[in-house]
Amino acid sequence: MHVIGQEENIKVRELRWIAERLRVDEQIEFLGYQEDVSKAMNECSMGVVSSIGSEAVSRVALEWMATGRPVVATTVGCLPEVVLDDVTGYLA
């Protein structure tokens, strides 16, 4: 599993700590910020949008869907309108 993106609301060290606590740290690769986002996304089999706050417009969900990958997303903001559960992805 890859975690891609620059630090914004949560720091990589916090994610690593959570992964260690859940005993999944050996299965996760933290790649950080990627210059070639398209290439990084195309190497994945699905996208995850795990927002816990407001999502007025979820550009990343649309980007995942543009790659032809299913999206697993939370039911925050516009995500239930963008991700059609069991059609273009899954809502959690």
Each residue's pLDDT expressed in tens, for the chain with a length of 92 residues: 888 888 777 788 999 999 999 999 999 999 888 899 889 999 999 999 888 877 777 888 899 999 998 999 999 888 998 899 998 899 99
Token pair, residue 77, equals 């903001």
**21: exposed, middle or buried (C-beta count within 10 Å: 0-12, 13-18, 19+)?**
exposed
Give yes or no for a contact between 51 and 74, defined as CB atoms under 8 angstroms apart.
yes
Structure tokens at 9: 């609301």
Please give the Cα distance from 75 to 33 (Å, whole number): 25
In the numeric block, the tokens 């620059």 are attached to 6
